[in-house]
Chain A
Amino acid sequence: MNRRFLIALLLLWSLGPLLWQVYTSFCSDQALIQPFVSNDHRWTLIHYQNVLNANPPFWRYLINSLIVGATSTFLCLVLALPAAYALNRIPRQLSVLTRLALVGAALFPYVLLFLALLELARALNLGNQLLALSLPYAALSQPLAILLLNSAFNDLPPELEDAAKLEGLSLFQRFRWILIPLISPATASTAILVFLFSWNEYPIALTWISDSNKLTLPVAMARIAGSSIYSVPYGAYAAATVLGSIPLVLLVLIFQKPIVSGLTSGAVKG
């Protein structure tokens, strides 16, 4: 009984705000202000219509974020996979030092970098270019991605690669046919984490992009929230939040199994 109560409390704690957003997005403004007064026009789709018919329409931000997320994830994995593999092959002391440096980099608050990054964007003319956002995103996700993938490579029995060497497989062939398929759960969970980071990132996106057609989701949502100094558009903001969450929820639902197995790989032997 106690256990069920605790689980219910935990679910309420974590899902409550989300459900409240869903509820708010479908409520008319009148019903939001007076939630306990009976109202014939409580439920509405007006907030979704407003958000989707705005200029530029909301789906553009979704697509912008999807493009940035996909390119950042791809770029990050392309660089992190060989780096994580190499970390196991370099001399032990160097590997330990590199790992420590990576942990330090992963824990570094990246917000402190955004002014410097802005200067870089100015100098290299990277402002207002959607794909250019992938560069800092992939770089900032790199330490965590390397550490996660490295532990996945560590968990693979070394004999598998030895057997492949004896069969005559080159380093690239071993990577392509053996290592990458075997660490795919860890790769999937790392990809999701990188994608989540770029999906949620705010300060860099805010400072690098000013063209409203190229905004990413977090910046666009902040604009909706702050569109009027006289009122807070709760309904529109909630509708934007729900729309912005759908791709993430789908992604996690589809890749649920590999994410869980990837994040726990190496936690227990066997």
Chain B
Amino acid sequence: MTLQIQNLGRSVGQHWIVRHLNLHVEDGECVALVGPSGCGKSSTLRLIAGLDPVSEGEIILNEANVTHSSAAKRAVGMVFQSYALLPHLSVFANLELGLRVRGVRPFDRQQRIQAMLELVQLQDRANVLPAELSGGQRQRVALARALLRDPDVYLLDEPMSNLDAQLREELRPELRRLVLDRQKPVIHVTHDQHEAMAIADRIAVLHSGKIQQVATPEDLYHHPETLFIAKFIGRPQINCLRPKNGVICAVRPESLFFAKEGLPCKITAREWLGSSQLLYLDSPEGFLRLSCSTAVDIPEAPHVSWDVSDEHHFALESGHRLP
């Protein structure tokens, strides 16, 4: 069972929301869609789910062309950013609705929902309304609803964005246990690149409705194909030196180090981040960020340097990576 997206596009009037999208997601593989707000991440998920009409291209799921099938016929399990739980129904009734519509018998419904509630550890919350649940519990109910569908593909639309950072970190292993281990294709939309790197096997970076690069998190970080990706992936942001001869040289903040000789600079600000520190530097090459351990002593008249192998080069005009 694989998900294949070929040259997918959606336009509203004259404006293309997403275009020329090509993506292949294998069974048990999780692909994260990342990109700035409004780049078309959620629109792509809606196209795959069948919630919006496709203007061009094809969606092939399990070797069947589902491009123009209705949402109900696609066997898609989707978790929404807002969880989309029905506020007037109990947790049990929320989970039961889909099964009832699909004609599952009452006894079987009861059994399957009980088993699912145990799986998501909410067996004692079956009869409460969603408003009485915590954010994490609501997310698990939304996941349970998607799992009960037993879908061919899982679509997760920023499922953890409403949770605080600590809870997000705690729920990551749970998300892996519940969804990623099911050996189905998973597309996970997130604006949190740490989450994408932690969960996804591959990351697709979207910009202005187009996929710029699909690669493993490691590859994306070390070999970004465009300046946009280099800037978007990795925090603190990559340093871009002044362009020379139509070429921009970029260096990651952790690749910079203090040296006896190198670029003279002045420290303008320092952020203490626990295990590391982030220094803001003013240099003849422009504004720079340097990330290093808190154990590093900061010289009085600092000079910074980096290995040539850590440099990334991009064409000034197109933003594409140069060899």
Contact = CB atoms under 8 A, between A and B. Distances in A.
Interface string A50-64: 000000000000000
B71 interface: yes
Interface stretch (B77-85, B161-169, B174-182, B270-278): B77-85
B51 interface: yes
Given A165-B72, A166-B78, A166-B149, A159 B84 contact: yes
Nearest to A168: B72
Given A168-B72, A181-B88, A182-B88, A162 B101 contact: no
Given A168-B102, A178-B86, A181-B88, A163 B72 contact: no
A167 B82 contact: no
Contacts of A157: 82, 84
Nearest to B82: A159
Chain A contact residues: over half helix, strand or loop, or mixed? helix
Contacts of B71: 162, 165-166
A173 B101 contact: yes
Nearest to B72: A168
Interface string A147-162: 0000000000101101
A169 interface: yes
Contacts of A160: 84, 86
Interface in A168-196: 168-169, 173, 177-178, 181-182
B38 interface: no
Contacts, number: 58
A162 B149 CA distance: 15
Interface residues of A, number: 16
B97 A177 contact: yes
Nearest to A160: B84
A160 B89 CA distance: 12
Interface string B48-62: 011100000000000
Given A162-B51, A173-B101, A177-B97, A167 B84 contact: no
Contacts of B97: 164, 167, 169, 177
A166 B82 contact: no
Contacts of A181: 88
Contact of A167 (B46, B50, B101): B101
Interface string B13-28: 0000000000000000
A166 B71 CA distance: 5
B135 interface: no
Interface of B: 46, 49-51, 70-72, 74, 76-78, 80-82, 84, 86-88, 97-98, 101-102, 145, 149
8 contacts: A163-B78, A163-B84, A167-B72, A167-B98, A167-B101, A168-B98, A169-B72, A182-B87
Given A162-B84, A165-B71, A167-B72, 7 more contacts: A160-B84, A165-B51, A166-B50, A166-B77, A167-B97, A167-B149, A178-B86
